[in-house]
Structures are given as C-alpha cells and as structure tokens.
Amino acid sequence: MVRHERRTQTIHRVVYRELVGEIPEGFEIDHTCTEKLCANPRHLEAIAPAEHHRRTRERANERCRRREERRRIARLSDVCTSVYPESRATLSGALSGPDFPVAEIGHQMRLFAG
C-alpha cells in the first residue's frame, strides 16, 4: 500500500492510474501475469469484479490440473524410467519447468519405447 494523492491505495492501482488510465468505478485490477506483487503496467488490467472472480477461479483450476498432471507424470516416471532409464532426464527437465508438455513427454516416451 502507498500513500498517493491523500489516499492509501495499492501500488498497482496507482501505477495503473498514472501510466495506463482511469480505473472505471467499481473495477478491480487484475494481474495478467498472476504475480500479485507485480506493478508492471503491461501486466495490469482494469476489469469488472465478476470477470476478476472468473479469472481467479480459472487460474485455481489450472493450478489443480497441473498439480494432478505433475503427480501423474511422477508416477509415470517411476514406472517408465525403471524400464527406460534414458527417459529420466527428459521427464525431470519437464517437471521442473513452468509448463508440463504432456504431449511432448508422451511422444518422447513412445520414442524411448519404440
């Protein structure tokens, strides 16, 4: 929170107003990069609360889906790498990244299996 124009407000709201434009009445600022502390004006979007809630829910669902995917790949990795040890590097590389290219891993696994 920062003190700006005699009001205490969040830094991203100040940045948005100063560098992007007015925030419509009742609108909230969404961090499109999902990093709550970010104040990069390119990552800020003024949206209606209903849309903000919808995006927040969608992102939470996406996190759950990825967590499940990660567990599934971890199980797959134990089973598969016991047979094809070379595939461990591919899988652990994919698991440590921000994205989990399951289709690509599946493709690689088929190549190892092929």
What is the distance of C-alpha 85 from the center of its chain? Answer: 31
What is the distance of C-alpha 69 from the center of its chain? Answer: 14
Please give the structure tokens belonging to residue 75.
């199980």
Question: Is residue 43 a contact point for Zn ion (CB under 5 A)?
Answer: yes
CA atoms within 13 A on the CB side of 97: 12
Mask for 44-83, x = binds Zn ion (CB under 5 A): ----------------------------------------
Count of residues interacting with Zn ion (CB under 5 A): 5
Q: Which of residues 10-39 bind Zn ion (CB under 5 A)?
A: 33, 35, 38
